[in-house]
Structure 1
């Protein structure tokens, strides 16, 4: 019996400069099973749709399906729900949610699908590796941030997360909130979240001001979930560094620590708003 295809959903708003590399990294995967990839372009004013459509013959050559949906309205939540609606018509395969600026390592898809092959609800992700940034501030921030326990041992869901069919039953439509990845992750306990030890490349915000705005938006997203879905906080986990561990990390990388701490302070003392903040 042919397994249900893995469903990859990629929301994309003006991602013409990134979507080809993202899709190319999918084509390089060593997974051999059926895959349906849906790019949901939303409110694009660039050539995201045309660039994605140009990749369709390469997907067909692999025996995989590539759908490109062109929605006139912007908004990631709407794009996610549209992609989910199409995926719901394609069986019970695993569902992978992928940002358009992510590049997956060659064996990550196979590892995620294998991890999700269980009737029990499960959530899975890869090992986040921050892409090289032209900004020295962003490089220093990323160098320190990646050493924190949550990044070293946890499944962050930033830019990429996946669930099996039973896991997808944990929620209905994506709600209209800031942090869709945190919302989904907290629908699963630590024991239900699986880290596949294969990397994926994730771009960090560029420069101090953008880092502060993006970090503030992330904090707002967590606060919003705490207010609307307080029961989910039980699944937050316990990966905050202890004071001795934080001291050791700071001594090993004082520049990275100072940048990280300065961003954190600026987030707390600056204007708290819910405006969209993009890292590039």
Structure 2
């Protein structure tokens, strides 16, 4: 049985769409789905319960993704285990492909390739993602696709999820590049921020997560893989890319500076993007 853990914080606008992708097409007993509603003030739990016995719904007052992941792990029954952000679009075939790849035993972690849906995004955001798509980090699904899957052996690499901002990066760094894989024939769709302020906020969270892991788990950084620096510099040889490169570099420089200030001050702001969820809310319950 494949277990799927979905941490959800105020995701009523998208959780129905996410679950319907798998529940409506799954064979009996194929999936063990656990939705952990953490610190919700909306009806996320009620929407998830509409799927009946096919979905186990847990609720906690603690608004923490890593706490939700730990609660989901305790309730989950099977392996491979797939962790999915509540706003990701992913087919049941992708789930099966991830599980099948892990069942071969030669890798311990797997993720789909991310498709970025830029519908409704501003010109600035589009240029940012045009550059990002050319970088090595864009080809890393564990930490870029909103989904990661681990085998039972892979899950044994670490205990409970620590209280970190970047749970996906923490998991990726448990494995060497040869132990993890991003599958080109498995896809997930993620929805980026629609505007520049929201993009900066999300990138601030990403940089904060990286700084946090470097401080708490420096020994894991040896598993980082290829960096973006060399490829990014090479892109400057193409003048047509300069506008996008300036946007990409400025966003990340500004976001990193903000992240450093947050770390130094002890501020802990989640900075979740709401713009993509609002844009999709009308379609979520169809």
Q: Quickly name the TM-score band, shorter chain normalised.
A: 0.7 to 0.9
TM-score with structure 2 setting the length:
0.85
Q: 1:104 to 1:114 in 2, by over 3 A?
A: same
Match among 9, 15, 25 for residue 11 of structure 2:
15
Q: Give 1:145's aligned residue.
A: 132
Query: Does structure 1 residue 278 correspond to structure 2 residue 265?
Result: no
Distance 1:240 1:149 in 2: 6
Q: Give 2:41's aligned residue.
A: 45
Q: How does 1:143-182 map to 2 (within 5 A)?
A: 143-152=130-139, 154-158=140-144, 159-182=146-169
Q: Give 1:218's aligned residue.
A: 206
Q: Give 2:31's aligned residue.
A: 35
Distance 1:107 1:191 in 2: 24
Q: How does 1:195-274 map to 2 (within 5 A)?
A: 195-197=182-184, 198-242=186-230, 245-248=234-237, 251-270=239-258, 272-273=261-262, 274=268
Q: 1:162 to 1:29 in 2, by over 3 A?
A: farther
Query: Does structure 1 residue 131 correspond to structure 2 residue 125?
Result: no
Deviation at 1:82, TM superposition (A): 0.3
Q: 1:117 to 1:240 in 2, by over 3 A?
A: same
Contact 1:44 1:72 in 2 (8 A): yes
Q: Give 1:73's aligned residue.
A: 62
Contact 2:235 2:241 in 1 (8 A): no
Specify every segment of 5 or more residues in structure 1 that has no aligned partner in the other structure, as ranges: none
Contact 1:102 1:200 in 2 (8 A): yes
Q: Give 1:101's aligned residue.
A: 87
Distance 2:249 2:228 in 1: 15
Question: Structure 1 residue runs of 4+, over 4 Å off?
Answer: 28-33
Q: 1:121 to 1:53 in 2, by over 3 A?
A: same
Deviation at 1:45, TM superposition (A): 1.0
Deviation at 1:140, TM superposition (A): 2.1
Q: Give 1:117's aligned residue.
A: 103
TM-score with structure 1 setting the length:
0.87
Contact 1:29 1:105 in 2 (8 A): no
Aligned pairs, how many?
264
Deviation at 1:268, TM superposition (A): 3.8
Contact 1:115 1:194 in 2 (8 A): no
Deviation at 1:218, TM superposition (A): 1.0
Match among 58, 68, 73 for residue 84 of structure 1:
73
Specify every segment of 5 or more residues in structure 2 that has no aligned partner in the other structure, as ranges: 263-267, 275-286
Contact 1:25 1:104 in 2 (8 A): yes
Deviation at 1:238, TM superposition (A): 1.4
Q: 1:156 to 1:120 in 2, by over 3 A?
A: closer
